[in-house]
Amino acid sequence: MRNFLRSTFLIILIASLFTRCKNVDNKVNPNYVCPADRFTTEQFTVITSTMLYSTAIDLTGKSQSLQMDINQPAADTLAHRPVIIYLHGGGFTSGVRNNAWANKFCQSFAKRGYVTASIDYRLGIGAGTDNDVISAQVRAVQDAKAAVRFFKQTAIEQGNPYRIDTAQIYVAGESAGGIVALQMGYLKSVADFSEIANADLLDGLNGLAGANTLPYSSKIAGVISLSGAILDLNWLNNSTLPVIMVHSSNDAATPYKTAIVAPYTIKPLYGSFSIDSAVAGKSVTSALHTFNNAGTTPYISSSKYADSTIKYVAQQLYGLIDCTRLGRR
* pLDDT at site 32: 61
Residue 150 pLDDT > 90: yes
DSSP string of 54-73, one letter each residue: EEEE-TTS-EEEEEEEEEEE
Task: Provide the domain limits for residue 46.
Answer: 31-325
- For the segment 268-313, what is each residue's pLDDT rounded down to a tens digit? 999 999 999 999 999 999 999 999 999 999 999 999 999 999 999 9
Phi and psi torsions of 289, nearest 5°: -115, 120
Computed over every residue of the chain, the mean pLDDT equals 90
Residue at 19 is within a domain: no
Per-residue burial over 205-240, b = 16 or more CB atoms within 10 Å of its CB, e = otherwise = bbebebebebebebebbbbbbbbbbbbbeebbeebe
Question: How far apart are the C-alpha atoms of 322 and 329, rounded to whole Å?
Answer: 17
The domain total for the chain is 1
Residue at 120 is within a domain: yes
Strands (E) located in 133-255: 164-174, 222-226, 229-230, 243-248
- For the segment 253-275, what is each residue's pLDDT rounded down to a tens digit? 999 999 999 999 999 999 999 99
Residue at 24 is within a domain: no
**CATH classification of the domain holding 243:** 3.40.50.1820
Residue at 221 is within a domain: yes
* pLDDT at site 34: 78
* pLDDT at site 6: 41
Question: How far apart are the C-alpha atoms of 329 and 129, rounded to whole Å?
Answer: 51
Residue at 107 is within a domain: yes
Question: How far apart are the C-alpha atoms of 71 and 114, rounded to whole Å?
Answer: 8
Residue at 209 is within a domain: yes
Question: How far apart are the C-alpha atoms of 171 and 140, rounded to whole Å?
Answer: 12
- For the segment 160-171, what is each residue's pLDDT rounded down to a tens digit? 999 999 999 999
Residue at 8 is within a domain: no
* pLDDT at site 43: 96
Model pTM score: 0.90
Residue at 67 is within a domain: yes
